[in-house]
Structure 1
């Protein structure tokens, strides 16, 4: 049985349901998967047994709160010393590759060198587990750590990219080398494949499209679902993280247009994120806080219940100021399988 290390910022986040579904299917196929995260992240109020299991089995690059930072620093130093003596050629080859990285901005340049040093902590554990392949979800720091672990261990790595437009984000560094040195790339759409080839690196021959999928048996229209106009107030639903590319700010603003048109409606927002407070303030400023409810993060089971009671799911995705945009929002597929109409931006 082949041993694979799955590497991501975190696995327990409610927004990473798609990743956990992928892992579950691979396990059914008999793949032996070990979990490597960057920072511990779990929303205890929505965690279920499957999430808790993955969270507890994940080895994190950075220390958990209960660990002392001195122990983490010593472990990181020891991991580098270990590879200096056990694999000096691989270690110094990777080190000089990191030192001579492509970034011209001094801060970004040094960040990549730093990532090389801290990646030794993951690589040492991977060697102990006899990992044969590393797969990173997201092309950000997860992809960077996967690349450096690959350098230290001499094993291949691959990356799944999820969003187009990421090349211009300030935290996206070392992209060309990450893609160039990977054994293969996975993307979720033809558009994203074309974007990477055109904007980052010519990787057509080793980039594969694996579309986001759902277990259709888990998403069935409710027999008791009441459809649009069966009652006075139209029930609108928006699901996702409060980040710029989701466009939730514009839906809040649009609520004022509906209210001014004397349309009876309510909007439920499910999710958390950095722009949640801003959207709350906008709802109060525009006088629509009485028809908008911010419900916070919900478990997959709870989200299904909201689908069952919604008339329309709204997906107001936009291109962020950084150029980042959605891939293919899974919420669209979930809603349609539940028999709920979707209104989305193009």
Structure 2
């Protein structure tokens, strides 16, 4: 597995891949531009080794990148690697030449910003086209990302839709029909999450329902702005900005909420979500999700069946949906129950690992990747056609 840097282990989906995909021989990170294993460079850094490599480059007229490629090739040989999973498109570019020259199959897993952020595409767009031709498979975590990668030059026959999964054992037990009028949001305080728009919507909610409360978990550059906005809108008494919290706190806050809210948007720099893991976690927990029709969210949230969606920047629409689940707790319970069944049936971490393993095995064995793609597509086609729905009248039963 090739990953950008050690701190990506804080991302739950990356950690799950490291720990759960069978047959992982080694995880290689990029540290200070060099491939590293457990924080140590993959190539020897003693004086003699460094001079020898530099002389080899001078004699063969190779660029410095040759040492990076040689480091990857050494890892492939040492650990007898028969397939590489590159987490994020940028990692795929870094390992591309080593895979091509060694004949090692390559699977590239895109996640979000790496497919949409403008400065990334300006820098790596041409390299992506080269990588798409060499890669055996390219994984997209949303259907919107599939379309974007095709636009960037990826052959459609290599693309596989495979969103991340959630550990359903850790996320269960919410009872929104009986919960207090409390919303929860989980995610970094960054532009694409637009936490300020969630707070703006909540300000409309609390004017109609004074008992309403909003808990927001996550750190980031917009945290201070959101604190100021809450004060400016006069809702700081009802908005709890908790900053970064451990998983146990996230689970507790979700378990005690009426609904999960997230107002994702396309950032000014083009940055987009993949399929937000927090949306999957909230659904598994049994919460209705109130969010935007952004990136992979509509792939997993079925409108008026497992959650409620609005267009990006539709603050009034979001506020209206938030008010509806507060005034109709039984409706919130129905949506949450449907969401839990859907996530558990199609989006568990075990299913995600199984799908990734099938892709990696096919690539490593040089099998027809289209057979795996069609099999996975059928699973998600079934998920759209067989959403179990509890139907009831949406009575205004108060809070």
Q: TM-score scaled by structure 1?
A: 0.69
Equivalent in 138, 161, 175 of residue 185 of structure 1:
138
Asked if residue 212 in structure 1 is aligned to residue 164 in structure 2, the reply is yes
Structure 1 residue matching 2:270: 3-state secondary structure: coil
TM-aligned CA distance change 1:183 to 1:286, over 3 Å: same
Separation in 2, partners of 1:345, 1:143 = 30
Separation in 2, partners of 1:321, 1:123 = 38
Equivalent in 270, 288, 295 of residue 235 of structure 2:
288
2:29 aligned partner: 37
Provide Cα deviations, 1:280-302, integer angstroms capped at 9, x if missing partner: 33333333332222222223233
RMSD: 3.5
1:156 aligned partner: 105
Structure 1 residue matching 2:185: 3-state secondary structure: strand
Provide Cα deviations, 1:125-162, integer angstroms capped at 9, x if missing partner: 4443333332111113x222222432564423221112
2:149 aligned partner: 196
Asked if residue 332 in structure 1 is aligned to residue 279 in structure 2, the reply is yes
Structure 2 residue matching 1:186: 3-state secondary structure: strand
Asked if residue 305 in structure 1 is aligned to residue 249 in structure 2, the reply is no
Asked if residue 24 in structure 1 is aligned to residue 22 in structure 2, the reply is no
TM-aligned CA distance change 1:287 to 1:127, over 3 Å: farther
Separation in 1, partners of 2:80, 2:58 = 19
Any gaps of 5 or more consecutive residues in structure 2?
Answer: 294-399
Contact 2:172–2:255, Cα closer than 8 Å, also in 1: no
2:79 aligned partner: 129
1:104 aligned partner: none
Separation in 2, partners of 1:317, 1:144 = 28
Contact 1:6–1:33, Cα closer than 8 Å, also in 2: no
Provide Cα deviations, 1:168-207, integer angstroms capped at 9, x if missing partner: 520331322222222221112333222211x200411111
Separation in 1, partners of 2:211, 2:46 = 58
TM-aligned CA distance change 1:313 to 1:10, over 3 Å: same
TM-aligned CA distance change 1:129 to 1:13, over 3 Å: closer
Contact 1:165–1:325, Cα closer than 8 Å, also in 2: no
Provide Cα deviations, 1:81-114, integer angstroms capped at 9, x if missing partner: 487499x6xx94xx5xxxxxxxxxxxxxxxxxx7
Equivalent pairs, count: 285
Contact 1:35–1:59, Cα closer than 8 Å, also in 2: no
Structure 2 residue matching 1:38: 3-state secondary structure: strand
- Equivalence map 1:1-346=2 (5 Å): 5-10=1-6, 12-14=8-10, 16-27=11-22, 31-39=23-31, 58-59=38-39, 77=50, 80-81=53-54, 84=57, 92=62, 95=63, 118=68, 120-140=70-90, 142-151=91-100, 153-163=102-112, 166-172=115-121, 173=124, 174-197=127-150, 199-222=151-174, 225=175, 227=177, 231=180, 234-261=181-208, 263-346=210-293
Shift of 1:239: 0.6
Q: TM-score scaled by structure 2?
A: 0.61
Separation in 2, partners of 1:78, 1:130 = 27
Any gaps of 5 or more consecutive residues in structure 1?
Answer: 41-55, 63-70, 96-113
Contact 2:83–2:106, Cα closer than 8 Å, also in 1: yes
TM-aligned CA distance change 1:75 to 1:343, over 3 Å: farther
Separation in 2, partners of 1:247, 1:270 = 13
Provide Cα deviations, 1:230-270, integer angstroms capped at 9, x if missing partner: 54xx2111111222211212112223323444532222111
TM-aligned CA distance change 1:22 to 1:165, over 3 Å: closer
Separation in 2, partners of 1:277, 1:292 = 13
